[in-house]
Amino acid sequence: MPAADQLITVIILAHNEEENITHCLESVGSSYKIFVVDSGSTDRTSEICEDFGAVVFKHPYTTHACQWQWAFDNLPITTPWILALDADFVVTEELFAKITRDMPKVPDDVDGIYIRHLYRFGWGKIRFGGTKKYWLRMIRHGFARVDSGDLVDFRFVVKRRVLDWQEGVIEDNRKDEDISVWIGKQDKFALRLAVEEELRRRGLHAWDSTPRLLGTTDERFAWLRDRWLRLPLFLRPVLYFLYRYVIAGGMCDGRAGFLYHVLQGLWMRLIVDWKTIQLRNVNLEDDELQEFGRAMLQTDRGSVAEVLRVVRECPSRQIGERGVSTIQKS
């Protein structure tokens, strides 16, 4: 039976991650083959990875989903499994031990493994609050694809069985300790969420997988997102915050839980609804809204007015020819 380090290739997406990448690499260790897909870092990210022994590939960033698909299609992966990480992830000792012990025993009809996802924010760990607890980050090579149905995040889709492991990773982006950095990202995410929701309401955008309440974590998440569209604007963020902070126990995480759920669960969702009203007030036709979405990705901005200006000044043909340059996760 092959050892775990012969079964798994670790792939890490990175862009200007010198503050985070060392912690990620050290948590993985040197016994695994590590590929890093760098999208044009201007700091020491690539140098740090190469010094650690990782193989660095350069590829321009378009979207997170496209970057993962490029990695699957172009990296010289020779193992049957992939552990997909972002540069601000730290693999816990518990997950490392689980992989070493149980990976060789995973049945042949399993194509993916959901692992626990914890988040560090506001100088504390987020454990409660009903947010996405599991993430499909271990996938069988050649049996998974990227779901393009989410404009903000991404998810992998597999056809056969999946497993749920309680062990996981901690997302700890040290750059977010500067709250201005975090707020700037949320403003861009909020516009993308608003546009995505408007496209879904009009039937212009759909999930690649089938949303199901009793399905996998991702299928259930998509099902709930579709129901979210029907709730009244500005009321739904309040209900969502109360669910996360009170019912789902977000308050149990103390100061970190308060900061995270107020800012990410309430404030950011209020901004989404604000931008939704802005979009509706400009009365875009279906094709104009789709063009707005393309320009939003091209300009990498969170302002409705600025993106509208780009749409009006730049013909759609030019937007398409330029390609897409979206906000990176980090």
Task: Report domain extents, the chain.
Answer: 4-175, 177-322
Q: Which residues of the chain have pLDDT under 50?
A: 317-327, 330
The alpha carbons of the chain give a radius of gyration, in whole angstroms, of: 20
Q: Would you tell me how many other CB atoms lie within 10 Å of the CB of residue 53? A: 11
Q: What is the pLDDT of residue 164?
A: 95
| Burial profile 244-259: b = 16 or more Cβ within 10 angstroms, e = fewer | bbeebebeebeebbeb
**d(C-alpha 43, C-alpha 157), whole Å:** 33
C-alpha neighbours within 13 Å on the C-beta side of residue 28: 30
Q: What is the pLDDT of residue 315?
A: 61
From the list 236, 228, 151, the residue with the least C-alpha distance to 195 is 151
Q: Would you tell me how many other CB atoms lie within 10 Å of the CB of residue 3? A: 11
Is 174:19 a contact under the CB 8 Å cutoff?
yes
Is 9:33 a contact under the CB 8 Å cutoff?
yes
Q: Would you tell me how many other CB atoms lie within 10 Å of the CB of residue 91? A: 25
Is 112:135 a contact under the CB 8 Å cutoff?
no
Q: Locate 114 and state its tokens.
A: 């959901």
CATH of 4-175, one of 3.40.50.150, 2.40.30.330, 3.60.15.10, 3.90.550.10: 3.90.550.10
Q: Helix and strand tally (H, E) in the chain?
A: 12, 11
Q: What is the pLDDT of residue 326?
A: 41
Backbone angles phi, psi at 228, to 5 degrees: -60, -35
